[in-house]
Amino acid sequence: MRALTVEFAGLDEASGPLTWAQSYMLKMIYMASPGTRGQFNVASYIRIPKGVTFQHVVRAFRALAERHQSFRTVYRVVGGAFEQRVLGNGTIEIDVIHRSEPFAPDSSEIDELFRGLQSEEFDLGKAWPYRATLICRSGAPVFLVIVFSHLTSDAAASALLQREFTSLLLKCRSEAELDSGSPVAQQLEVAAYQQSAEGASRGERSIRHWERVLSRYYRSGQERPRHAGSVRRAQTISMTSRRLASSAATTARRYNTTPSMVFISAAAFAYATISERPGLILEIACSNRTRTWAETQGTLFQFGIAEFSAMGVDFGEVLKNSAATALSAYAHSQYDDAVLDDLRRRLSGGAGPYSQLPAISFVVNDLVGWRLSAAELNIPLDRPDLVRPTFGEFGDGDMETGGYAFYLGYHRAAGGGLRLGLEFDTSMLSRREAAGCLAAIDCLILEAGRTNLSLSEAKNVVRECVTERPEYAI
């Protein structure tokens, strides 16, 4: 058996424009060079419960496609613009990989397999914007990998998919009825809302917010680079720390916020201190889901923008203010990206690519953040248990095709650690400063969870990490 066939028929059909988030993501995908667009793929890894058969997998996947239009959506160019079309009849192929033996614990084979599945680019406009691969052992399904184009899904939606598909498999195994569940908002409904008077008004409010903030920063001259940079301006660096996962949860509880907000605060403060800036602009990845759209598999993110100040009574106040600005960014994250592009060109005098804007971009991964707990990890906070910063392990930065001057992401790593990754522009940070920035995030969050840090103490922590902490040396 090389593939499973999932057929659907007699379902609703519809077509319409892309959502604002989809239009933004499509632009980002095509700004990237061919061969690198796989970085915009999102994967879900679903462990198959024991006793589930191939027939159960087919039945569950069909139910998923009936419930979520994103599994039946293709993209076509109509009148020179992309639109999305939901099909009512069609066939989905699930590739099947058979193995006779389990993967060896110390083998890189499974990582290479997953990396290969996720990195392959999609031919948008000609095929499904996702692919499913079922891994089997001794004739039984054990793992399902679904890789989406980011045009269709985000990480939060992938987590929803894991939960929902596992539930469907268990129902199929017990021969239970597969009910349709509560109503699910679809991408076409999101697009229709954005085209409505209420949606357009919300977009206008977001753009006005961006204009107020960005105009001040363009006038301040903070977009000017600090270093001459290198021929290849984009660099990537990563670091893994077990202590960081635990201390982030501890600090978040102390200041009544989330680990995500703690990361925003520490990263922005470290960058502001290193670059000797009193404040920054933060671009924060915000999902387009709302309470109304919370259960749709096809939600995507756009960036919300907010101001960050490195001033205050102490680092705790900086942290609390960062949480407030993040909420403000989320409130202003719904907008037409084409309108925002016009605003950027007007404010900058029409010069410079996106990467030269005075904005610092962050990926705020709440799928990671809410899972962090000291009790779960039970790691002494005095032990870093870290892997020193190394270059070239996190993403593929390219400042000429839509990269960012400063882009932070994080996720859980093997062994209970937390992996920080930084994409940075060498005209903004040197390699040593970038390594120090990651180290400072680790140290700031640990100390803030223990005691009140004055601003001078917090800045000293950052400076020491750049110059005097051999355990973080690159």
pLDDT tens, residue by residue, 335-373: 898 888 888 778 777 654 443 444 555 544 433 333 333
- Contact in structure between 436 and 244 (CB atoms under 8 Å): no
Distance CA 406, CA 459 (A): 19
As a residue count, the chain comes to: 474
**pTM of the predicted protein model:** 0.79
Query: In the predicted model, what is the mean pLDDT of residues 228-240?
Result: 69
pLDDT for the residue 381? 62
CA angle 448-454-457, nearest 5°?
85
Q: Which residues pair with 47 in a beta bridge?
A: 143
pLDDT for the residue 354? 44
Query: In the predicted model, what is the mean pLDDT of residues 50-60?
Result: 95
Residue with more model confidence, 202 or 260: 202
Q: Longest Cα pair distance anywhere in the chain, in angstroms?
A: 67
Structure tokens at 283: 């671009």
pLDDT for the residue 215? 80
Distance CA 465, CA 473 (A): 9
Residue with more model confidence, 1 or 212: 212
pLDDT for the residue 366? 36
Give Cα 422 distance to the centre of its chain. Answer: 13
Residue with more model confidence, 455 or 312: 455
pLDDT for the residue 380? 60
- Contact in structure between 268 and 284 (CB atoms under 8 Å): no
pLDDT tens, residue by residue, 69-119: 999 999 998 888 889 999 999 999 999 999 887 777 666 777 788 878 888
Helix (H, G, I), strand (E, B) or coil at 230: coil
- The architecture of the domain spanning 204-472 is 2-Layer Sandwich (3.30)
Helix (H, G, I), strand (E, B) or coil at 344: helix
Smallest Cα–Cα separation from 16: which of 90, 67, 66, 73? 73
pLDDT for the residue 107? 67
Structure tokens at 205: 């409010």
Distance CA 175, CA 213 (A): 56
Out of 3-7, 29-33, 87-91, 249-253, least confident range? 29-33
Q: Is the pLDDT of residue 226 over 70?
A: no
Count other Cβ atoms within 10 Å, centred on residue 160: 21
pLDDT for the residue 456? 92
Residue with more model confidence, 223 or 176: 176
Count other Cβ atoms within 10 Å, centred on residue 456: 10
* N-to-C CA span, the chain: 48
Q: Is the pLDDT of residue 168 over 90?
A: yes
Q: Is the pLDDT of residue 210 over 70?
A: yes
pLDDT for the residue 235? 75
Query: In the predicted model, what is the mean pLDDT of residues 271-290?
Result: 75
Helix (H, G, I), strand (E, B) or coil at 207: helix
CATH no. of 3-191: 3.30.559.10
Smallest Cα–Cα separation from 96: which of 124, 39, 58, 125? 58
Q: Which residues contact 458 (CB under 8 A, 6 or more apart)?
A: 269, 273, 314, 315, 318, 444, 447, 448
pLDDT for the residue 404? 54
pLDDT for the residue 14? 94
Fold equal for 3-191 and 204-472: yes
Helix (H, G, I), strand (E, B) or coil at 41: strand
Residue with more model confidence, 23 or 126: 23
Residue 80, classified by CB atoms within 10 Å of its CB into exposed (0-12), middle (13-18) or buried (19+), is exposed
Cα separations (Å) of 350 from 119, 333, 335, 344?
34, 23, 20, 8
Residue with more model confidence, 391 or 447: 447
Strands of the sheet with 14-17, listed across from one edge: 14-17, 81-86, 73-78
8-state DSSP, 454: B
pLDDT band for 297, please (50, 70, 90 cuts): low
Q: Which residues pair with 78 in a beta bridge?
A: 81
pLDDT for the residue 128? 93
Query: In the predicted model, what is the mean pLDDT of residues 417-437?
Result: 82
Smallest Cα–Cα separation from 47: which of 148, 178, 152, 144? 144
In the predicted model, what is the mean pLDDT of the chain?
Answer: 79
Helix (H, G, I), strand (E, B) or coil at 385: coil
pLDDT for the residue 400? 42
pLDDT tens, residue by residue, 123-140: 888 889 999 999 998 889
Q: Is the pLDDT of residue 154 over 90?
A: no
Query: In the predicted model, what is the mean pLDDT of residues 433-460?
Result: 91
State residue 96 phi and psi, 5-degree precision: -125, 130
What DSSP letter does each residue of 60-89 carry, written as one string?
HHHHHHHH-GGGGEEEEEETTEEEEEE-SS
Out of 31-35, 171-175, 349-353, least confident range? 349-353
- Per-domain residue ranges for the chain? 3-191, 204-472
Q: Is the pLDDT of residue 187 over 50?
A: yes
Distance CA 100, CA 117 (A): 20
Cα separations (Å) of 194 from 15, 16, 190, 203, 299?
15, 12, 6, 8, 14
Query: In the predicted model, what is the mean pLDDT of residues 264-278?
Result: 85
Q: Is the pLDDT of residue 28 over 90?
A: no
Out of 249-263, 268-282, 340-354, 397-411, least confident range? 397-411
